[in-house]
Each structure stands twice: as structure tokens, then as C-alpha cells.
Amino acid sequence: MAPLRLDRDEARRIAVRAQLLDAARPTGLLPVVERLTFLQLDPTAAVAPSADLVAWSRLGAGYEPADLLRAVERDRTLFEHRAMVRPMADLGLYLAEMAAWPEEQRRREWLRANESFRRYVLDLLRDSGPLLSRDVPDRSVVPWPSTGWTNNRNVTQMLEFLAARREIAISGRVGRQRLWDLAERVYPAGTPVVPAAEALRRRDERRLRSLGVARASVVGEAGEPAVVEGTSGVWRVDSEAVGRPFAGRTVLLSPFDRLVHDRKRAWELFGFEYHLEMYVPKAKRRWGYFALPVLHHDELVGKVDATADRKASVLRVHAVHGDVPFNADSAKAVRAELEALASWLGLREIEHTRG
């Protein structure tokens, strides 16, 4: 089959539509997560937690962070697993992977050495769950060895490992801390296990639908092969997304947003350069600690360096970096989006400062 030929304008519009960032806003949180396939959880909240920013950028003022908590904790339409929130309807696509975990010998050996600790945690949760990690005593026989921050964090590692293999699950949160419980009390009973090869194929298909156009290294053989003007190599494209009409809008994105998360793809399709500078010394930052990429219709046109000062009820805009010169329309649209962001955050005013 000859690859489809796309110009970069069409490829960008396919990508923007696929991520629900065009003018046709979705109607609720669950459809958003179903299309994106997940929301990534990250503790950084210079403006707002990334998962909430991603949802707000799609849904607008109608989205509230409590919606996400309710979907995970009460409605069980979403589940949290390994720092991602996914649709509960997709659980079966991950069960075979959970059953095969861990493949790494070091983890298998540590679990084997701490079998009594494992049984103790399961019994404790059965009798007293859900619990925070601090409520679980460390009864490890062999400490977890690491040269990093996980060294000797035995309770955390045990909980993470038991969740990875679907013995326990995250039932909710208290602030930023996770509540752990037996998986059987969180996940629906009787969820069918999709065989591993079929699960991978379906996950690739869903991932491509959420991205619109991507490399095979990301989506496997899903979709159709395509050549994008001005780029090298072959892409994979969701053929159903080709040739559809496009109407855009202006959006402030989380640095973790999947439209920009693959920095190479963002450069190839949008000519957009971006690096997350949280861990870069302040004097060496180009764009800011948690700079928000700016999407204007089908172009990524700049970054906004902003922080939310909740105590003062101010959205502090330290800088607006234009990758291309803003015209009157894009400048007005960015101002309006900043006002919308401040309003959604419940902040009374916007203050422009040099930081």
C-alpha cells in the first residue's frame, strides 16, 4: 500500500483535532479521557496539576478538579494506575500486562524474599483498608536497595509492586497521598482479560486515534502509513481523520500535554522547540519553570511563563514568549485565555511581572 501523502498543515490539524483541541469542545470528562486514553498525574502545580490543566484545556470553565476525584473514587469510571488515570472500560487491556509483572529479576527476588511482608500488607488492607502508605508498618525482611530516592522505602515499593501486579489498587486520595485497597474492592469483578497481543494491538489503535499522526515506534502498525511533507521517514496516520474540516481556537497547554509531550514530533510537525525547565537553574532558563505552550488554531506559537499565587489570588505572568510574532488576533486570544485560566483557578487578578 502506497503511503498517504499529507502536507504539514493537514498533519497538524489532524493532531490538534485528535487531541480534542480544536473548536469543537468535548462535553464531559469521561469522553476526554476515553479519547486521550489517559491523564498523566504529576505533583507539580505551579499553575495547576497537569491532569487538571489537560482536562481544563479541553473542557473549559465547566471542568472542576473534583470531577476527576469523583470519577476515580465514587463513580469508578476511571482508575489510577502507575501515575496515570485511565478509563475503567480499558482495564481489560492492561490485565495481562499486570499478570506478567514483574519481568525484572531483581524485583522478583525482592518480592520472594519479602513474601511474609507481602501477605501482611494484603491482610492489613483486607481488615482495615483503604489505607495511606504511612498507615502500613514496614515489616520487610530485606530492604529495597537503590542508589536513588527509593532506597529503603520498603512500604512504598511493596505497595507499588502489589499494585503493578493487580493485587491492590488505588481507591482514592487524601490530598496528594494515595489510598490503597485490595484490587477486588476497586476494580469491577469479572473484567475480561484481553490476551496480551490483542491488548497491545488495541492499545496502539487507541493511542493513534488520540494522536492522529505518530511514528510506528509509538503506535506500532496501527492506522495507515503516511509521508508528511517536510519530514523524513514514514508516519502512521488515523485514516478516518484525514480530510475533515478544521476550526481552531487558542489554548494554554500543560507542559505534559500529549500534543507537545513528544518533543521531536512537536518539532517535526509544528516547528516547536520546547524543554521543561523545572530542573534547570533559574539563570539558565529560556522560557520559565513551568512554561505553558500556546496553541493558536493549528500552530504552536509560544510559551507563557506563569505561576498561580493562590494566597494573593493572583495569576502572575512573568513572560509571554512568542516563537512567531503575535498579530492582533493571536495577542487578543492569548490575553483572553489567560483571563479564562485565572477565572477557572478562582484568582481575582492577573499581574504581569518580569519575575
What are the residue boundaries of the structural domains of the chain, listed by start? 95-185, 250-352
Share of the chain above pLDDT 70, in %: 98
Q: Which CATH fold would you assign to the domain 95-185?
A: Arc Repressor Mutant, subunit A (1.10.10)
Q: What are the C-alpha distances in Å from 10 to residues 18, 61, 206, 264, 269?
A: 12, 29, 20, 18, 10
Q: Are 350 and 309 in contact (CB under 8 A)?
A: no
Residue holding cell 498561580? 308
pLDDT at 147 over 70: no
Beta strands 78-81 and 84-87 are: antiparallel
Q: Are 214 and 207 in contact (CB under 8 A)?
A: yes
pLDDT band with cut points at 50, 70 and 90 for residue 353? confident
Q: Give the pLDDT of residue 175.
A: 87
CA distance 36 to 29: 11
Q: Do domains 95-185 and 250-352 have the same CATH topology?
A: no
pLDDT band with cut points at 50, 70 and 90 for residue 43? confident
pLDDT at 93 over 70: yes
- The C-alpha cell that represents 337 in the structure block: 485565555
pLDDT band with cut points at 50, 70 and 90 for residue 153? confident
Indicate the SS3 state at residue 130: coil
Share of the chain above pLDDT 90, in %: 92
CA nearest to 270, candidates 17, 54, 15: 15
Q: Give the pLDDT of residue 44.
A: 86
Beta-ladder partners of 180 = 131, 170
Q: What are the C-alpha distances in Å from 44 to residues 285, 320, 347?
A: 17, 20, 18
Q: Are 61 and 71 in contact (CB under 8 A)?
A: no
CA nearest to 65, candidates 303, 308, 290: 308
Q: Give the pLDDT of residue 281.
A: 94
pLDDT band with cut points at 50, 70 and 90 for residue 129? confident
CA nearest to 168, candidates 135, 130, 195, 194: 130
Cβ within 8 Å of residue 175, ≥6 positions away? none
* Mean pLDDT of the 160-187 span: 96
Q: What are the C-alpha distances in Å from 311 to residues 14, 48, 255, 347, 350?
A: 40, 14, 24, 9, 13
pLDDT band with cut points at 50, 70 and 90 for residue 51? very high
**pLDDT tens digits, one per residue of 248-297:** 999 999 999 999 999 999 999 999 999 999 999 999 999 999 999 999 99
DSSP state of 249: -
The pTM assigned to this predicted structure is 0.94
Q: Indicate the class that CATH gives domain 250-352.
A: alpha beta
pLDDT band with cut points at 50, 70 and 90 for residue 195? very high
Q: Give the pLDDT of residue 151.
A: 65
CA distance 314 to 168: 41
Cβ within 8 Å of residue 280, ≥6 positions away? none
pLDDT at 150 over 70: no
* Mean pLDDT of the 79-87 span: 97
Q: Give the pLDDT of residue 354.
A: 65
pLDDT at 152 over 70: no
Phi-psi region of 285 (alpha: psi -120 to 50; beta: other; left: phi over 0): beta
CA distance 138 to 3: 56
CA nearest to 30, candidates 39, 18, 17: 39
Q: Are 227 and 235 in contact (CB under 8 A)?
A: yes
Indicate the SS3 state at residue 162: helix
**pLDDT tens digits, one per residue of 291-348:** 999 999 999 999 999 999 999 999 999 999 999 889 999 999 999 999 999 999 999 9
